[in-house]
Amino acid sequence: MHSLTNFSYLLGAVCFNLQSVSINNTSGVTNFSHMFEYAYTLRSAPIMDMSGCTDASYMFNSCYALRYVPLYNLANCLSTSYMFNNCYNLDNLQL
């Protein structure tokens, strides 16, 4: 059985009306880049295990309605560039 390691571009551009999402197991995922990019109506980010993350660039880019992001372990992440670019409504960012 193979596990997914790349979640890049997973939900963003095709899920314009996504408001919330639940993701069960992200252990072992290394690439989260662009995962929710252009999910314009996403209001809260899911709780995820990001301890293996190496790339979270543009992960929430242009998520205009995003208000809440839980605490993520980004200690091993090499790139977080533009992770929250154009996220104008963030109320609670706990990184």
Domain count, the chain: 1
Token pair of 12, please? 């963003």
Contact yes or no for 41/21 (Cβ under 8 A): no
pTM of the complete model: 0.84
Confidence of residue 75 (pLDDT cuts 50, 70, 90): very high
The H-or-E segment that residue 93 falls in is: strand 92-93
Domain extent, residue 68, equals 1-95
Region 16-22: mean pLDDT is: 77
pLDDT at 5: 73
Per-residue pLDDT reduced to its tens digit, 36-71: 999 999 999 999 999 999 999 999 999 999 999 999
